[in-house]
Amino acid sequence: MGQYSCERNSEKKYERISGELSGELNETSLIEALEELKERKEIEEHYVKSTIDWDELPDTLTLYVDHYELASIVNEARDIVGPKELEKEDIMSNTLQQEVVYGNKETITVGKLKLLLDIVGIPHDEMNIFIYGIGDPGNPYTINNPRLPFNFDSEAGGIVLAAALKDGTIHKEEAKGYWFAYYNKDEKNRERVKEAVRKVFGDVEPHESKERNEISYHSYAIVSALEKMGAPIGEKVGQDYHVPQVVRMGSESVKRAYLHQTFMDEGSWSPDGSNFKYPQAGALDPSKLSEDDKRYFEGLLNKQKEYPTGYTYHYVYLSEELGKEIREEYPRVWAVIEGSKPPFLEEEMDILEEMCGVRPEPKPREIYTTTEGDYRVSWRVEISKKEEWNRVRERLRLPRDKHRHEG
């Protein structure tokens, strides 16, 4: 099915090479060509993906395309290879061809549209202005007037990615479908995320549950785009993921938007500018410890507390004194604790230092058990100096009033 694209690319390459060889190839032009090639390679090495276009979305997704443009493309493809060949290659059945050409059908899957464009030789991005919807027919979360390509190199992009990595969760389940959910008790936070999603993706509204403080987008396009930009699928704790490259290598406004949303989701501070805290959990795996180390480790978690659900979890607070004891007497246990640090934490501290000239050191503060019998470490970033916190608050445009972590 992809033969048409390959053949056309070969023809274009032949035409370009023939054209170059037909002219005079002197030493100067050769040097210029080599310099251009070197520059192109350097650009590729430092390239950071910042957009997702329609042709990068799953092939099964449905697109709503301007009818006259779609009919024109189908007609042109029929002229090139014939209606039977289109049907034979499983690109478009004869019935579907008739519905597009002579009827009012305006929907086609991503995969089929790509194949049609490859046959007629139209670059995929030239279709952006003709696509007016992305989503299955009847889906209330279809993206209308999609902003193609979806651009994450923006303040809105930084907000959406932070929301996905902090109080958000991306669900991708065969039985239940695909959706992006964001949970936060602060209505202003939810509204900020909703507006950012509209700016990045297009006209789409979420399902809202005030009882659960949740907004959710049941859109495979949104889920796929977030995943391609580096957001993890499912429960984030235990997964090895990073701050998306578009944020790490992005502009100051993108980094500011990312950290602003991150701290609004996960941070807490007081009006007087002291005791800023930002906790993040990491998964701890004690399975590789020796039996002696395991007994010591399990003995550490000698405190317990019962959740309202009835589950009793075990935990230990890692004071400075206890941390010193573990480092000196059970270094392998301490190595396992340190190994639980989420990789994105150091990357976020790099951005914070770049933006604000402040770099607090993330520290493990608590080890606790989960309902599944796993171990978690609560890592915490703290800023205790008022001058440093004021600088962070001003540079990141955070509110002065008290803010609690309630996500």
pLDDT tens, position by position, 334-391? 999 999 999 999 999 999 999 999 999 999 999 999 988 899 999 999 998 989 999 9
Is the dihedral angle over the CA atoms 293, 298, 301, 303 positive or is it negative? Answer: negative
Burial 21-47 (b: 16+ CB within 10 A, else e): eeeeeeeeeeeeeeeeeeeeeeeeeee
CA distances from 170 to 178, 181, 388, 390 (A): 8, 6, 34, 34
Which parts of the chain have pLDDT scores under 70? 1-47, 273-274, 402, 404-407
Domain boundary among 90, 117, 151: 151
Q: Do 230 and 272 share a domain, yes or no?
A: no
Note the pLDDT of residue 310: 80
Question: What is the separation, in whole angstroms, between the first and last Cα of the chain?
Answer: 48
For residue 407, being part of any structural domain is answered with no
Note the pLDDT of residue 278: 95
Q: Do 275 and 359 share a domain, yes or no?
A: yes
> Alpha helix locations (H) across 249-373?
252-266, 291-300, 320-329, 331-338, 343-356
User: Three-class SS of residue 397?
Assistant: coil
Q: What are phi and psi of 183, to 5 degrees?
A: -120, 125
Provide CB contacts within 8 A for 334, sequence distance 6+.
323, 326, 327
User: Three-class SS of residue 168?
Assistant: strand
This prediction's pTM = 0.85
Note the pLDDT of residue 401: 84
Burial 207-221 (b: 16+ CB within 10 A, else e): eeeeeebbbbbbbbb
Q: Please report where in the chains the tokens 């002291």 appear, as a residue.
A: 274
For residue 406, being part of any structural domain is answered with no
Query: Is the separation of the CB atoms in 142 and 133 below 8 Å?
Result: yes
Closest CA to 223 of 236, 235, 214, 232: 232
Q: Do 392 and 283 share a domain, yes or no?
A: yes
Q: Do 30 and 132 share a domain, yes or no?
A: no
> Which amino acid makes up residue 6?
C
CA separation for the pair 392, 398 (Å, rounded):
8
CA separation for the pair 208, 215 (Å, rounded):
5
CA separation for the pair 229, 163 (Å, rounded):
13
For residue 372, being part of any structural domain is answered with yes
For residue 82, being part of any structural domain is answered with yes
For residue 261, being part of any structural domain is answered with no
Q: What is the DSSP string of 97-134?
A: HHHHHHS---EEEHHHHHHHHHHHT--GGGGGGGEEEE
Q: Do 273 and 390 share a domain, yes or no?
A: yes
Q: Do 286 and 382 share a domain, yes or no?
A: yes
Residues recorded for the chain: 407
Closest CA to 77 of 61, 64, 60, 96: 96
Note the pLDDT of residue 15: 46
Provide the residue range defining the domain that includes 293: 267-396
Q: Do 144 and 210 share a domain, yes or no?
A: no
pLDDT tens-digit series, residues 87-107: 887 889 999 999 999 998 999
Domain boundary among 151, 186, 201: 151
User: Three-class SS of residue 8?
Assistant: helix
CA separation for the pair 61, 86 (Å, rounded):
20
CA separation for the pair 394, 386 (Å, rounded):
12
CA distances from 269 to 231, 367, 402 (A): 27, 23, 6
Q: Do 143 and 161 share a domain, yes or no?
A: no
For residue 403, being part of any structural domain is answered with no
For residue 145, being part of any structural domain is answered with yes
Query: How many other C-beta atoms are found inside a 10 Å radius of the C-beta of residue 295?
Result: 10
Q: Do 234 and 283 share a domain, yes or no?
A: no
- Count of domains for the chain: 4
User: Three-class SS of residue 173?
Assistant: strand
CA separation for the pair 390, 383 (Å, rounded):
10
Note the pLDDT of residue 375: 95
For residue 326, being part of any structural domain is answered with yes
Query: How many other C-beta atoms are found inside a 10 Å radius of the C-beta of residue 263?
Result: 24
Q: Do 271 and 389 share a domain, yes or no?
A: yes
CA distances from 171 to 91, 159, 216, 235, 389 (A): 30, 19, 10, 9, 35
Note the pLDDT of residue 376: 95
